[in-house]
Every structure is written in structure tokens, then in C-alpha cells.
Structure 1
Amino acid sequence: MKARAKTAKARNTEERPNRRGSPEAIEKRRIARVFNDVLAGRGAAANKLDGRTEKRRQRLLKELEAGRARGARELKPTDILQRVQELMDLGEPLSSIRKVTKIRKNTVPPEAIVSLVARLHHAYSFRPEVYRFVGIGEDVLRAAGVLDDGKRSRAKR
């Protein structure tokens, strides 16, 4: 028996994936909204986050404050690093993140985690400031190569 030929609609569906949710499409929509707001005289909206991003920012802050991911499981140290990094990328000041987040104390000797921090930083490229939220200080970051010796960071504060 011969296999049936695919319809034109089926071929088009296979060839063109849905790009509505792609990061590029989302960024295009966001910048278009900001552009329209600025040129329409609503310049204050240029610095404002869109609704979904604002909800995400609020959820990330709430999760950091509670120490739980969506109320179900406890946040792991890498989860904390990722959430703090993402909040900083959204423009949230470190001071407001520090207000809601409990900074964990690190009981592991610094020399035991230097290589782990180096590997983690190579894989994720976190900002040096975020390591402070899991109890990793400047001395470990310098030894791991995250900070330059001459560069002063705010991670120690």
C-alpha cells in the first residue's frame, strides 16, 4: 500500500515551528511596546516592566523570602544564585534583594569549595555579588578566579 502524500497544511506546520514564545519574539514585542510608549509621550512606561515580567519579579522575590520554590520544595544554593542573578538582570537593586533574602552561613572550609566555585562560575557565569547570598566570600571568589586581585567587589558586604 502506498503512503499518502502529506497535505500542504501538514507540510507547513512541520516546516515552521511556532516562534511566538521564542526569546527573540518576546524581546521584539517588549521593545515595540516601549518604543510606542516613548514616542507616544508616555516616557515613564519605558522603565516599567511589562506585566509578565513584573509578576515574575514578584514571584522570584517571594520565593527567596520564603526559601521555597513555588511553595513546594526548599531552594537549593544554585536555585538561590539563579534567582538573585535573574532579579539583578531585571534591574532589581541588590539592597532590595538583601532585604527579603536570608543570607546563608557557609560551614564548609574555603579551600574545599574553591574548585567547585570555579567550575560553577565557568558553567553559569554568575555575577560575583550573588555568591554572597549562599555564604561565599571574596577570599573564595578570588582563589577561584571569579574576582581579579586588583578589583574590589561588593560581594563581601
Structure 2
Amino acid sequence: MPPPYNDISLSNKIEKVIYEWGIENRVFSVPLDNADNASSNDVFVDRLRTFLIIKKALVCDGEFFHLRCWAHVLNLLVQDGLREIDIVVQKIRESIKYSKGLQEGKQKFLDYVNQMSLDGKKGFRKDVPARWNCAFHMLESALFCRHALHFLDLIDLNFKHYPTVAE
């Protein structure tokens, strides 16, 4: 859709498409990710809902019309959960930086990975904080590498971010 991307132009365009496609009596809901332009999305959806209600085209008077994007809601839930273990997550991020960044830490870590016959290709994966599945893969890789981290903690006095056994 060409600019402008405001609530009125979005609403007008969607209304037009709904009628062009002949689905005005078949629209039940509009799922939207409200991470960006939330107020614009809310106004857009309210205008579209009102338009379809006037045309008597919505079931339940549009009560279930605007649905939040489930992927966004799931991401928010997981981010809240990750905040509960933020200290551990930070330690793992710092451990990854140390074992991948500094040459001395990197070499000691790789030596132990090789010594224990661990799959070196399956090493640490750094996360992207805004994406929960990346955090999951980072934590999963930290579990895989926990013995190498423990070894690094024992032999390298410069390594200071090892999660405790309880963590």
C-alpha cells in the first residue's frame, strides 16, 4: 500500500478490499501486532469495526474483532519469564562473549571442547534479546557447553561469569 500509513488511509483501503473481494459478511477478526504504531492500529481497527457494524457485517457486534498477535503476546510472556532469571541470562551472555571473544578464553574453551569430544559446531549461540526463541537456543547451547564452562571457571582466573550450579 502506498503512503500515507495512517489509521484513516489503512481503514479506507481495507474497507475497499473487503468489498472488492466480497467478504464483508465473512470477516470475523483482525489480528495485529501492536509492537509498532499501537495507537494507529487501535484507531484503524476501531474505524473498521464501526464501519462493519454499521453494515451489520460482524458477528457478536465485533466483540472479538481485534485480536492481539499471538506471537507478540507469547514473546512478551517469555520476556517476562526471562526477566525472572535475568542474572543467569546475563552471566551466560558474558560467558559466551568471553569464550568466543577474548583469544585466551576462546582457546581454553575450545581446548576443553576438543578434549571432551564435544561437537565444536554445536557451541554457544548468542541470543537476540527481542526474540524469545533465540534466548531459548542460547540457554540450550549453554546447557550443552556447561562442562566446558565449568572447566574454564576452574582453570582461568579471568573468567568471572560462570553461573553457579544452582543457576
Q: TM-score range with shorter-chain normalisation? A: under 0.3
Q: TM-score, normalised by structure 2?
A: 0.24
Greater RCO (CA < 8 Å, at least 6 residues apart): 2
Q: TM-score, normalised by structure 1?
A: 0.25
